[in-house]
Chain A
Amino acid sequence: MAGPARLLSTGELTRSKGRFGAVVAALALIVFLVLVLGALADGLFYGATGAVRSSNATAYAFSDDAEGSLIRSRLDESDVAAFAAAPGVEAAGPIGVLLTGGEGPSGEVDLAVFGLDVGGPGTPTTLVEGRLPDPGETGVAAVDTRLEDEGVTLGSQVSVGEVSVEVVGFVSDTAYQLQPTVWTSVADWRAMRDAVRPELRGQPTSINAVALVTESGASLADIAAAKPGTTVLTADEVGLAIPGVAQQKSTLNSIIYTTVAVATLVVALFFALLVLEKRELFAALKALGTSTGALGRAVFVQAIVATVLGIVLGTIVARLFGLIIPSTVPTLFRTDTLIQIAIFTLVAGVIGAAFSLRRIARIDPATAIGGTL
């Protein structure tokens, strides 16, 4: 862009730094807030759903009363065969889940123990170090990388009750309900479960759910029909069914949308005031032969520059803030969330500036002359 709009926008941006600084600061504050909220939302969501998102299973079968919760569901090992034979199912495998406190090399840790046929359905796909337990191997586990913070290394022992397993590998992004996971055999899982939940000892073949790898386009209802009293949900649905996840997501999203709306308002008000204050000047510039379009473009350029600066500044501050947040607060700064928020804010800035357009269009160049009108 060349011409009058550039001269006007850059002239004002460089010589009225104070007032543009104010709107940039306001926008930066908004972006900072939104990013931190977004990081919190992502931290909660990804921390709660990692075990499901990072697994190779495309769907899970639950008992009807479980409402999609792995913990609440009760099935039996014998059900696995029924699902494996169902139409559209490529593979099925048992899943046992235990949320519990355990012991690591440097003390107590919260754990989510997953018992499964490692390598079969439900196995994490995010191995970053070491190996997964071999099929049928017991006494070993792959664990979530979050346990590295608890002093766990390859070869460490992690125990629940009197039952311990040796860590042979690390998988990333597999937390479940914000607790680091331990991926081990059904037998080890059941031993741990029996150690902390003695009342379940009489159920030697019970599992929680069945992980499924389905063909694309398979009917989940048909699969569920293979075993009466069960429900089959996609992995995504299971993620959202984890207690609190859907609610947190929608609450934080509405806070984010509200904040972006505030950004629109801030930009709209700022430029409304700026245009109001410059009515006389704009009338004179129109009298000199400046089109409404050129004046509008100048305002848009200023809005975009101010918004981009606000986004950059807000992002820097948010990332610095991320460094000092205690690690117990689940935050996750994701690039795709950042891009999304940046685009939202930019659109908010442009929409905000657009409100001034009508006002600019209505300025009558005839009022420039005569002085008194």
Chain B
Amino acid sequence: MNDPVVDATSSTPDGPGPSPSQDAAGHPGALLRVENVSKVYGSGHTAVTALDDATMSVDQGEFVALLGPSGSGKTTLISIIGGLLSASSGSVHIGNVDVTTLGGKERTKFRAERVGFVFQSANLVPFLTARENLLYVATLVKTPKKAASQRADQLLEELGLAGRAKNLPEQLSGGERQRVAIGRALMNDPDLVLVDEPTAALDTALGRQVVQLLRREIKDRGKTGIMVTHDLRMVEYTDRVFEILDGHLTHVESPSALGH
């Protein structure tokens, strides 16, 4: 496998750069534009501001990290980006769709077609085989059977799971399960792949492997990816890093800058 950082430099058009202006809202050509998004849970004196006026943009083809301590608002932010949660204020554009204005049914459809999720615990369907778990999401967007089969087989092959296609999740290791989840996220050819703590349940070596694979799949396909993590070591596989602290999206740095 290629050194991911080198790979990043060569295949990202913008290249990794610490320039703060890069995440300015309205950046032309950005696939994802988050503008002044706030999220308040609850109301009155129990209100919690989980996200305060967050603004960011990510270009097509970028793989970025969202880094922050527990409770800082990472999950809240990517849930809003992925159309799982509504924002209290602000807007989120993916391409030319404003996610925050979509109704419930449209959001469900939007998620199926344009967003791929990798959850912390793989959350595969336990009674479907690895291959069927991929085929499942294809049924959500009515992919023709043959095309879906071909794509599933190709993804499983790429993820090194060709020999495990007929296994149920319980017969797979944690790393294999997470790889199936990555395949599932890519199955419907989404614009955006959102990954929440994919390595939390894995040891470091395995975690690195999974993140490397994730990066390769995202890069090879020209997808845009956001990975939530609080593990500084995983950050080196990403092009840029957004830091979040107490709901404030504070820093934008290149992974290398974080090390110092």
- Within 8 Å CB of A3, what residues of B? 139-140, 142
Report if B204 contacts A (CB, 8 A).
no
Complex Cα distance, B125 from A290, in Å, reads 13
Report if B200 contacts A (CB, 8 A).
yes
Minimum CB–CB distance for A360 against chain B, Å: 13
Q: A287-B82, A288-B117, A288-B137 are in contact. Are A369 and B128 (CB under 8 A)?
A: no
Complex Cα distance, B126 from A15, in Å, reads 9
Q: Chain B at the A interface: mostly helix, strand, loop or mixed?
A: mixed
Give the B interface residue count (CB, 8 A): 37
Q: A368-B84, A369-B82, A371-B120 are in contact. List 8 more A-B contacts (CB 8 A).
A: A3-B139, A8-B125, A288-B111, A288-B117, A288-B184, A294-B140, A365-B111, A370-B196
> What 1/0 mask marks residues of chain A from 286 to 320 whose CB sits below 8 Å from any chain B CB?
11111100100000000000000000000000000
Report if A246 contacts B (CB, 8 A).
no
Q: Is A15 in contact with B136, judged by CB distance below 8 angstroms?
A: no
* Chain B 107-150 interface residues, beta-carbon cutoff 8 Å to A: 108-113, 115, 117, 119-121, 123, 125-128, 132, 135-137, 139-142
Name A's B-contacting residues (CB within 8 A).
2-4, 6-8, 11-12, 14-16, 280-281, 284-291, 294, 365-366, 368-371, 373
- Within 8 Å CB of B121, what residues of A? 371
Report if B162 contacts A (CB, 8 A).
no
- Within 8 Å CB of A291, what residues of B? 105, 108
Q: Is B137 in contact with A289, judged by CB distance below 8 angstroms?
A: yes
Q: Is B196 in contact with A371, judged by CB distance below 8 angstroms?
A: yes
Q: Chain A at the B interface: mostly helix, strand, loop or mixed?
A: helix
Q: Is A11 in contact with B132, judged by CB distance below 8 angstroms?
A: yes
- Within 8 Å CB of A287, what residues of B? 82, 84, 111, 117, 119
**Which of the listed residues A14, A284, A286 has the most CB atoms from chain B within 10 Å of its own CB?**
A284
Q: Is A368 in contact with B111, judged by CB distance below 8 angstroms?
A: no
Q: A286-B108, A287-B117, A291-B108 are in contact. Are A369 and B196 (CB under 8 A)?
A: yes
Q: Is A365 in contact with B168, judged by CB distance below 8 angstroms?
A: no
Minimum CB–CB distance for B92 against chain A, Å: 14
Q: Is A280 in contact with B109, judged by CB distance below 8 angstroms?
A: no
Q: A7-B139, A288-B137 are in contact. Are A365 and B197 (CB under 8 A)?
A: no
Report if B85 contacts A (CB, 8 A).
yes
Minimum CB–CB distance for A305 against chain B, Å: 14
Complex Cα distance, B148 from A3, in Å, reads 12
Q: Is A290 in contact with B140, judged by CB distance below 8 angstroms?
A: yes
Q: Is A289 in contact with B196, judged by CB distance below 8 angstroms?
A: no
Cross-chain contact of B120 among A8, A365, A366, A370 (Cβ < 8 A): A370
Complex Cα distance, B137 from A277, in Å, reads 21
Q: A288-B111, A291-B105 are in contact. Are A366 and B123 (CB under 8 A)?
A: no
- Within 8 Å CB of B184, what residues of A? 288
Closest-by-CB residue of A relative to B115 is A289
